[in-house]
Amino acid sequence: MMFERPRRNRQSSAVRDLVQETQLRASDFVYPVFIQEGTSTQTPITSMPGVFRYTLDLLPDLADTLIEKGIKGAALFPLVPDAKKNALALEAVNADNLICQAAKQLKTTHPNLMLFGDVALDPYSSDGHDGLVENCKILNDETLEVLAQMAVIQAESGIDCVAPSDMMDGRVGYIRSSLDDIGFSDTIICSYTAKYASSFYGPFRDALESAPKAGDKKTYQMNPANRREAMREARLDSEEGADMLMVKPAGTYLDIISDLKQQTDLPIVAYQVSGEYSMLIAGADKGCFNYEDAMLESLIAIKRAGADIIFSYGILDIVDRL
Ligand code: PBG
């Protein structure tokens, strides 16, 4: 005798739909957008087939597509020409830099699209590190002032949510006070709380030519072996005033997403990073699986683990299937 037969609830697509526990919606997603100087150019990213770097004049069309599909947010990442990179990352605090120009423009044309601004020095620094470097060391406290300045000029340009991805200690509190001091108490902070020192950022660093010139990021990004440490980062970021907590990468850190979801009361953001996207494209290219099916499965797993918001390069490919 078998009273329990789980297969009963799987026998037709109707019953499968009725008992489905997790649903993806277009409004779960934020689309990361690489931007570059120039006009009328969209440059393919070699290591990310299907992903491009856009000049600012092309952004309104892209934003139209996002809004049309029901996607609520875009995260802007600038390619900074080598000539504008230096050890102090001065371009990061130039109020007329690429990300500020993009934000001003998009806030005018698409006021309802939520804009996320990356706050970290790596694309602007000749060292390619997220903080200031002195004698091969990444300086923490000296970097905070630069990050806060970045957050301030981005907020002033129309960025709705600043997203510190640098992993310096104390930066969320420092940025919060700097924003509040100038009256920007509504600017949201999405903290990259549990950002691991990951191989999966490779294609992103290609796209922005932002790889570290020397050393690695292990003195500030987290050790992939650590789980409890993410709780410590989450506690600090919450206490310092973060509005959202991010886990990054996503697919290989589902336990961390689940932990933070259960142990904090803040929305959880998961970043399906460049290498995760490129792996799925490459796998499909080799005939291992269907790209769209594999992308959907990866995204639903990230949401099932507890993500409220997902950053993904693949969203435009599958949004029509949601
Ligand atoms: C910048 C930053 C990185 C990513 C987002 N913000 C790269 C890094 O820390 O080296 C990676 C995103 C991706 O791989 O898609 N600090």
Distance CA 291, CA 314 (A): 10
Rounded to the nearest whole angstrom, what is the distance from the C-alpha of residue 51 to the centroid of ligand 1? 15
10 domain-assigned: no
Of 164, 286, 146, the closest CA to residue 237 belongs to: 164
Rounded to the nearest whole angstrom, what is the distance from the C-alpha of residue 300 to the centroid of ligand 1? 22
272 SS3 class: strand
Distances (CA, A) of 16 to 8, 12, 126, 182, 230: 10, 6, 53, 52, 35
18 domain-assigned: no
pLDDT in tens for each of the 322 residues of the chain? 999 999 999 999 999 999 999 999 999 999 999 999 999 999 999 999 999 999 999 999 999 999 999 999 999 999 999 999 999 999 999 999 999 999 999 999 999 999 999 999 999 999 999 999 999 999 999 999 999 999 999 999 999 999 999 999 999 999 999 999 999 999 999 999 999 999 999 999 999 999 999 999 999 999 999 999 999 999 999 999 999 999 999 999 999 999 999 999 999 999 999 999 999 999 999 999 999 999 999 999 999 999 999 999 999 999 999 9
Rounded to the nearest whole angstrom, what is the distance from the C-alpha of residue 201 to the centroid of ligand 1? 6
Q: How far apart are the first and last CA of the chain?
A: 39
What pLDDT, on the 0 to 100 scale, is given for residue 81?
97
Of 27, 34, 144, the closest CA to residue 93 belongs to: 144
As a three-state string, the secondary structure of 29-61 is EEEEEEEECCCCCEEECCCCCCCEEEEHHHHHH
Which amino acid residue places its CA nearest to atom 10 of ligand 1? 201
The enclosing domain of 270 has a CATH number of 3.20.20.70
13 domain-assigned: no
In whole angstroms, what separates CA 96 from the centre of its chain?
Answer: 23
222: tokens are 């987290």
317 domain-assigned: yes
Q: Considering Cα of 127, then 129, then 135, then 139, what sign does the dihedral take?
A: positive
Which amino acid residue places its CA nearest to atom 14 of ligand 1? 201
Split into its structural domains, the chain has a count of 1
Q: Are 161 and 167 in contact (CB under 8 A)?
A: no
15 domain-assigned: no
Ramachandran angles phi, psi of 80, nearest 5°: -105, 125
Q: Which atom of ligand 1 is nearest to the CA of 274?
A: 15
Catalytic residue positions, numbered: 195, 248
3 domain-assigned: no
Residue 47 neighbours by CB under 8 Å, 6+ apart = 202, 203, 206, 207, 274, 278
Tell me which of 99, 161, 204, 272 to substitute to probe ligand 1's pocket, judged by most ligand atoms within 8 Å of the beta carbon: 204
Of 195, 225, 205, the closest CA to residue 278 belongs to: 205
122 domain-assigned: yes
Q: Are 296 and 288 in contact (CB under 8 A)?
A: no
Rounded to the nearest whole angstrom, what is the distance from the C-alpha of residue 204 to the centroid of ligand 1? 6
Residue 118 Cβ inside 6 Å of ligand 1? The answer reads: yes
Which amino acid residue places its CA nearest to atom 7 of ligand 1? 201
204: tokens are 């992103």
Which amino acid residue places its CA nearest to atom 12 of ligand 1? 273
Residue 204 Cβ inside 6 Å of ligand 1? The answer reads: yes
Helix (H) or strand (E) holding 123: none
Task: Identify the domain containing residue 119 by its residue range.
Answer: 23-321
What pLDDT, on the 0 to 100 scale, is given for residue 204?
96
Residue 122 Cβ inside 6 Å of ligand 1? The answer reads: yes
Residue 276 Cβ inside 6 Å of ligand 1? The answer reads: no
157: tokens are 């340009």
What pLDDT, on the 0 to 100 scale, is given for residue 49?
97
Q: Are 103 and 115 in contact (CB under 8 A)?
A: yes
pTM for the whole structure: 0.97
248 domain-assigned: yes
Residue 263 neighbours by CB under 8 Å, 6+ apart = 231, 234
What pLDDT, on the 0 to 100 scale, is given for residue 41?
98
What pLDDT, on the 0 to 100 scale, is given for residue 222?
98
Strand partners, 188: 161
Bridge-based pairing of strands 161-164 and 52-55 is unpaired
